[in-house]
Amino acid sequence: MGTKTIKRILISNDDGIDAVGIDILRKVAKKFSDDIWTIAPSENRSGASRSLTLRKDVFIEKLEDKLFRCHGTPSDCIIFGMSQILDFPPDLVLTGINYGMNVADDILYSGTVAGAMEAALLGVPAIALSQRHGPDKTIGYKPSQLFCEKVVRHILSLEIPPRVIANVNFPAFDPKLIKGIKPAHLDKHKIGDVVVAGEELNHYRLGPLKSNPETGSNSDRAVLNNGWISLTPLKIDVTARTTLKNLSTISF
């Protein structure tokens, strides 16, 4: 897919309709199309993964022309947005820009990735974008603000295969120190969770992820640490094909 074919873009996220990152992404999207639609959760739904709202209604509010607030999950935003709000499908779905990286094992929990995956399931090319944050709070969204357009153009020039999404993470570096875009595989980093006692008896809350400080060679975390923007293609088919080849059919 070339950028010339991008007539309509749908934007969503998991940080919520009022998040800073989605406003940045809308500005970037205007570089590619005049027909920009935004349908995002009413509140922060980080960690929602690919969950759907079942057995109850989902309320979608129109805030202004082509801007909607969805009282559901990131996947709900894409499903109901494309089936009930848009009169015809978009040419591209962009999700993010998430506050915090979505790398390694995180992608299994990420609503940012989930929204892009839902678009891919519905046959629309999709890119998930996230901004890593670090100890230097002055960095903020500066890397993604500066390089997002260039990254999206690069991905569109490559073409996104069916049932595949592009997962992009921007490093928490001074933009002057960012080296470029580097393909990377998913790292392995989760070793546990910090569980915090709640305010009442038998109530609990998830604290920070326990993460392995070691990074795999050429993994997404490793390239981010080295000042690159990571680009990881993710596919919907999660079949363990090597293991599948070693399985035998058993007849009864």
Q: Name 215's bridge partners.
A: none
For residue 202, pLDDT over 70 is answered with: yes
Q: By 3-state DSSP, what share of the chain in percent is helix, strand and coil, each rounded to 5?
A: 30, 30, 45
Which letter does DSSP use for residue 31 in this model?
T
Using CA atoms in the order 36, 48, 162, 180, what is the torsion angle rounded to 10 degrees?
70
- C-alpha 104/C-alpha 100 separation (Å) is 13
Residue 135: pLDDT band (50, 70, 90) is: confident
Tens of pLDDT, residue by residue over 55-70, are 999 999 999 999 999 9
Q: How many angstroms separate the CA atoms of 9 and 82, rounded? A: 11
Indicate if the pLDDT at residue 207 is higher than 90: no
pLDDT, tens only, 29-60 = 999 999 999 999 999 999 898 999 999 999 99
Strands 8-12 and 92-99: parallel
Which residue(s) pair with 231 in the sheet?
Answer: 168, 183
pLDDT reading at 4 higher than 60: no
- What is the rounded CA–CA span in Å between residue 216 and residue 44? 31
- Please, where are the H alpha helices in the chain? 20-29, 74-80, 111-121, 142-158, 220-225, 241-245
pLDDT at 76 over 70: yes
Residue 1 has what pLDDT?
Answer: 52
Average pLDDT of the residues in 143-154: 97
The pTM score is 0.94
Return phi, psi of residue 108, to 5°.
Answer: -70, -20
For residue 205, name the pLDDT band (cuts at 50, 70, 90).
confident
User: Which pLDDT belongs to residue 24?
Assistant: 97
Beta carbons of 37 and 119 less than 8 angstroms apart: no
Lowest mean pLDDT among 18-22, 82-86, 125-129, 192-196: 192-196
* Helix axis angle, 142-158 to 20-29, nearest 10°: 40
- State percent of the chain over pLDDT 90: 86
